[in-house]
Amino acid sequence: MRLPIMLAIVLVFSSTIPALAESSCTTAPKAEWKPSAAAIEKASSLGYTASKVKEEDACWEVYAKNAKGEKYELLFNPVTLDLVRAKAD
């Protein structure tokens, strides 16, 4: 009886590990990161107006507004400046 319960617990926790790993943008050392100003420039090139940038979960998190004035949180990979996620605020 204990074995199926233990197996279920192991399966539940092992399935959440990849989701946790995906929450960060990079594992590269900070020496390889582009400056936060580059993330602001990237947001501007995508049509956003940035107001603030900070480091969050190994990402550059840019607070910005789109052309309609809607607020967004943009997550950029700090090494490649790829947009990882755009979340409406």
Domain boundaries, the chain: 25-88
The per-residue pLDDT for range 76-88, each reduced to its tens digit, is 999 999 999 999 9
pLDDT tens digit string along 8-62? 444 444 444 444 445 689 999 999 999 999 999 999 999 999 999 999 999 999 9
Residue 15 has a pLDDT of 46
For residue 3, pLDDT over 70 is answered with no
Nearest to 82 by CA among 57, 51, 59: 59
Take residue 21 and report the two structure tokens written for it. Answer: 């790993």
Sign for the CA dihedral angle at 72, 63, 18, 80 comes to: positive
